[in-house]
Amino acid sequence: MRALAILCLLAGVAAAAPRARWQLGDRDPHAGKPFELILAVSGFEETPAPVQPKLEIAGATVTPLGVEPHRSGMNIVINGQQMDSAVTWAFRWKLEVAKPGTLVAPAITVKQGSASATAQGANLQVDSIDRTDAMKLELQLPARPVFVGEAFDAKLVWLFRSKPQGQEFTLPFGNLDAVTITQPPVPDPDSALQFDIAGKKLALPFDADAVDANGQRWTRITIHMLVVPRVAGKVEVPPASVDANLPAGSPDVYGRYSLKTFTTSDVAKTLEVKPLPLTDRPPSFAGAVGSTYSMKVETSRSVVQLGEPVELTVTVRSDQRLDTLALGKLVLPADKFTVPDETPTGELAADGKSKTFKVTVQVTGPASEIPAIPFAYFDPARSAYQTIHSDPIALSVKGGSVVGANDVVALAPKPGTPKPNQQELALVGAELALSSPGDTDKKPLGGALLAGLVALLYLVPLGLFALRSWQHRTREQREEAAEVKTARKRVEAELARAANHPARETAGPLAAALRALARALETSVDDDGLLARLETESYSRTGADAPLSAELRARAKELADRWSRAARRAPSKGAAAVVILIAVLVPASARAGALDTGREAYQQALGVSDASARKASFARAAAALGEAAQVTPDRPELLADWGNAALGAGDVATATLAYRRALAIDPSNPRAKKNLAWLRNRATPALRPTSGGAADTLFFFHDWPRSRKLVFGAVAFALAILLVVPWSGRRRRGLVMLALIPAIAWLALIISVALEDHHAGDAVVMDAVVLRAADSSGAPAAFGDPLPRGTEVTVVEQRDAWAKLRIANGTVGWVQSGAVQRVAR
């Protein structure tokens, strides 16, 4: 009977129609604070999962949080079969409301297969949280600019007078992509507060003390967090806030206060983050940023056989936590030691201020010591790179010899022929000629000269077009003006003659001159009978001897003046000319010494027959020419010389970087183009950048320097304007049609300038490094082989001491930022 009752109950549950209802999450709805709205649906099956419908509520920002099932009741087994109780599906949304008021949740229907459930509309009252002066909150950040990768202690200071309950912090700073917040060591779990930061639960330690402010006693909670900026720029930090239940009103008869929720917040702040400088960056720099570092190196043994490995234990200490510290590749003499390309993974000490790395190196040449190993870091207090060194360690190397791959001769010379130079064979096909002395200082057209030339090419045709257009439009007006001027002079001459000659001789000509002036001015002859009197005056008895009276002459002059004034007030027939002005605004003795030294060392290298001595001379030339290129980085020929010297020294990374920088200034530089193509042809196909194609051939001008595009665009614009200038003659229409050709060329060049890609993310791998799947030394490799020196990559993202790269075949991975150099300076 009991089993039968249970079956009937379950049948009733299974037969019940699905129901849906609105309910709130665990936080009351308040303006300015996110809260959850849940649609609870019962009567659906456990599978399949229903689709969450779209929810829109006026006055609220709605974000779906997903759907999840919740079991209710007990599991019952009858006759060996499990009978599951009902499942309640919860559809969750996050709501954010700016102002208090009433929200209307609409009626909404959800479906699961053929079953459906509809929740009726509901009103939701959103209240505001009262602010209080009984609490204060402040996020304390460094007052100075900080650098990318610099770890600093940020503090959230909370003051309150009466004991709060149920406090809840909102820290938007922790969810910004521009920074990473980590948890400092927590000595006492009871002295830590839980924060939800970037989807992680962090227990941030705090200190508690009491302070006096404005004559009042406050309890102060100082919460500590470790912050590392990830990107450079101004980081806008939204205000932090805290909600807490505080005593309110008057106490009851037992002395107890009722609790009310209050809030307080900080003000918005700006954190200025500076990028780490690219100039003067030491080769051993691997992203360490701080003010105090020390390094100690120990060996596993001091006596080894030639070719045997030696394990080095490198310990780095600092006055700050070293969670993100990377060691980078050790700098040891390449002719005596072989250092692995992979970056070692360090072990962090308990206090977080010491990190130990173990590196196994192979002794490949006679050595008496492990030399001092450099470790570079950036000091934000001095805004400069610093380098420290470990102490050298005595080493005894005995017996044996090691033959490397570079020493193997693949092709033996024929008997009787001189032994070819290995470096000459390796560099066959490269253009190693040094530039002419006069070409070193050449740079593309730019600065004030370029601006003046472009402005002249725009303004002169526009001025000519405006002048000819004005002449064309005002031709009739100017002809009419000449006619009016002639008529006016005739009237003045007749008036002057009428003052001295008899009226019979002057009255008629004066009337005719007035009529001619009226016709020229295109005005009606409104003379109050003056012209009739003039003609009558010529036949008067006194007209044969006496001149015209002064009164008639004055009236005639006043009439001519009145007609002229009326004509000047008439509206002009021509339209006002529009003038369009286009302005195009387009910026050493030490350098001279370095340049001369580099060119001299380069010439010496070309004349040396010994491979080692030649390589050393090329290395000296590369160092000097690189120094000169630092002073004047806008000289493509100098950059090409620097690349050639580095190539001769075997430094393919520096050579690639120099050629890329030369081509960024002058894409047509022949030596840089040829030698960069030569280097690319020797790269692995997966790492070889692609170029060329039909589109590049059609739009060949995309590779022109910006100055050339501007000048040729200005010339095309000038030709188009000159062809549409309203010249006289019958061929004007044909010239206007012909102007379409330079107009299209001008438009294409201007669009190319506006849309040109400056390749700001292009970079070159300067040290052989493993491309990893994440920004961590322990992450697995994202590419099968280490990236060799000179690999051309694109920097996708910069994060702390790591850079996210994309190689030629599209693979994306992470390397330490010190291993790459950007092409754009």
Question: Residues 298, 305: contact at Cβ < 8 Å?
Answer: no
**With respect to CATH, is domain 131-274 assigned 2.60.40?**
yes
Q: What is the mean pLDDT of residues 118-145?
A: 90
Question: Residues 229, 799: contact at Cβ < 8 Å?
Answer: no
Tens digits of residue pLDDT in 175-201: 888 888 888 888 888 888 888 887 788
pLDDT beyond 50 at 434: yes
Please report the pLDDT score of residue 210 as a whole number. Answer: 92
Please report the pLDDT score of residue 485 as a whole number. Answer: 79
What distance in Å separates the CA atoms of residue 204 and residue 355, rounded to the nearest whole number? 22
Question: Residues 342, 357: contact at Cβ < 8 Å?
Answer: no
Q: Please enumerate, as own/partner, the contacts of 294-298 that have beta carbons within 8 Å and a separation of 24 or more.
A: 294/318, 294/388, 295/373, 295/375, 295/388, 295/389, 295/390, 296/390, 296/391, 297/370, 297/373, 297/390, 297/391, 297/393, 298/393
Please report the pLDDT score of residue 477 as a whole number. Answer: 63
Please report the pLDDT score of residue 15 as a whole number. Answer: 45
DSSP state of 613: H
Of the two residues 112 and 351, the one the predictor is more confident about is 112
Of the two residues 608 and 398, the one the predictor is more confident about is 608
Helix (H) or strand (E) holding 99, with range, is none
Helix (H) or strand (E) holding 162, with range, is none
Of the two residues 548 and 580, the one the predictor is more confident about is 548
Q: What is the mean pLDDT of residues 717-740?
A: 68
Topology (CATH level 3) of domain 293-398 = Jelly Rolls (2.60.120)
What distance in Å separates the CA atoms of residue 746 and residue 462, rounded to the nearest whole number? 15
CA triple 322-324-328, angle to 5 deg:
100
Helix (H) or strand (E) holding 550, with range, is helix 550-569
Supply 581's token pair.
Answer: 């002005």
Please report the pLDDT score of residue 462 as a whole number. Answer: 81
The b/e string for 536-548 (b: 16+ C-beta within 10 A; e otherwise) is ebbeeeebeeebb
Q: What is the mean pLDDT of residues 121-144?
A: 89
The b/e string for 158-173 (b: 16+ C-beta within 10 A; e otherwise) is bbbbeebeeeebbbeb
SS3 content of the chain, % helix, strand, coil (to 5): 30, 30, 40
DSSP state of 787: B
Please report the pLDDT score of residue 409 as a whole number. Answer: 33
Is the C-alpha dihedral spanning 230, 234, 238, 242 positive or negative?
positive
What distance in Å separates the CA atoms of residue 288 and residue 149, rounded to the nearest whole number? 7
Q: What is the mean pLDDT of residues 421-432?
A: 56
Average pLDDT taken over every residue of the chain: 79
What distance in Å separates the CA atoms of residue 364 and residue 356, rounded to the nearest whole number? 25
Please report the pLDDT score of residue 316 as a whole number. Answer: 92
**Residue whose C-alpha is closest to residue 764's, from 663, 668, 669, 674:** 663
Topology (CATH level 3) of domain 440-446+589-682 = 1.25.40
What beta strand segments (E) does 335-383 contain?
Answer: 337-338, 347-348, 354-363, 369-370, 374-379
Sequence-distant (6+) residues with CB within 8 A of 251 are 257
pLDDT beyond 80 at 273: yes
Question: Residues 534, 552: contact at Cβ < 8 Å?
Answer: yes
Q: What is the mean pLDDT of residues 767-771?
A: 86
Supply 446's token pair.
Answer: 């730019």
Question: pLDDT band for position 581 (50/70/90)?
Answer: very low
pTM above 0.75?
no
What distance in Å separates the CA atoms of residue 455 and residue 714, rounded to the nearest whole number? 8
Tens digits of residue pLDDT in 8-22: 444 444 446 889 999
Three-class HEC string of 508-530: HHHHHHHHHHHHHHCCCCCCCCH
Question: Residues 295, 316: contact at Cβ < 8 Å?
Answer: yes
- Residues 483, 484, 487, 489: what is their CA dihedral angle, to the nearest 10 degrees? -110
With 0-12 CB in 10 A as exposed, 13-18 as middle and 19+ as buried, what is 747?
middle
What type of residue is 66?
G
**Residue whose C-alpha is closest to residue 748's, from 713, 704, 715:** 713
Please report the pLDDT score of residue 39 as a whole number. Answer: 92
What distance in Å separates the CA atoms of residue 661 and residue 643, rounded to the nearest whole number? 10
DSSP codes joined into one string, 173-201 = GGG-TTEEEEPPP-S-GGGEEEEEETTEE
Question: Residues 344, 374: contact at Cβ < 8 Å?
Answer: no
Of the two residues 150 and 541, the one the predictor is more confident about is 150
Question: pLDDT band for position 154 (50/70/90)?
Answer: very high
Cβ–Cβ contacts within 10 Å for residue 188, how many? 8
pLDDT beyond 50 at 403: no
pLDDT beyond 80 at 118: yes
Report the Cα 6 to chain-centroid distance in Å.
Answer: 67
CA triple 246-219-163, angle to 5 deg:
25
**With respect to CATH, is domain 2-128 assigned 3.60.21?**
no
pLDDT beyond 60 at 71: yes
Tens digits of residue pLDDT in 98-112: 888 899 999 999 998
Please report the pLDDT score of residue 747 as a whole number. Answer: 80
Please report the pLDDT score of residue 198 as a whole number. Answer: 78
What distance in Å separates the CA atoms of residue 626 and residue 595, rounded to the nearest whole number? 9
Q: What is the mean pLDDT of residues 626-650?
A: 88
Please report the pLDDT score of residue 582 as a whole number. Answer: 34
Q: What is the mean pLDDT of residues 25-54?
A: 87
Tell me which range, 208-217, 218-227, 430-439, 665-674, is most confidently predicted by mean pLDDT: 218-227
pLDDT beyond 80 at 464: no
Provide the angle, in degrees to the nearest 10, between the axes of the packed helices 475-498 and 503-521: 160
DSSP codes joined into one string, 22-87 = EEE-SS--BTTS-EEEEEEEEEE-SSSPPPPPP---TTEEEEEEEEEEEE-S--EEETTEEE---E
Which three-class secondary structure state does DSSP give residue 782? Answer: coil
Of the two residues 459 and 6, the one the predictor is more confident about is 459
Supply 307's token pair.
Answer: 């070719």
Question: pLDDT band for position 541 (50/70/90)?
Answer: low
Cβ–Cβ contacts within 10 Å for residue 560, how many? 20
DSSP state of 130: E
pLDDT beyond 80 at 301: yes
What distance in Å separates the CA atoms of residue 352 and residue 318, rounded to the nearest whole number? 9
Return the minimum-mean-pLDDT range out of 196-205, 285-294, 397-406, 814-823: 397-406
Q: How many residues does the chain have?
A: 825
Please report the pLDDT score of residue 428 as a whole number. Answer: 63
Please report the pLDDT score of residue 825 as a whole number. Answer: 67
What distance in Å separates the CA atoms of residue 297 and residue 317, rounded to the nearest whole number? 12
Measuring CA to CA, how many Å separate 273 from each of 141, 143, 153, 228, 820?
Answer: 12, 11, 15, 10, 21
Question: pLDDT band for position 438 (50/70/90)?
Answer: low
Sequence-distant (6+) residues with CB within 8 A of 231 are 148, 177, 178, 273, 798, 799
Tens digits of residue pLDDT in 232-264: 899 999 999 998 888 877 776 666 777 888 899
Supply 266's token pair.
Answer: 């900080």
Of the two residues 810 and 420, the one the predictor is more confident about is 810
pLDDT beyond 80 at 611: no
Of the two residues 336 and 270, the one the predictor is more confident about is 270
Question: Residues 516, 487: contact at Cβ < 8 Å?
Answer: yes
pLDDT beyond 60 at 81: no
Question: Residues 607, 650: contact at Cβ < 8 Å?
Answer: no
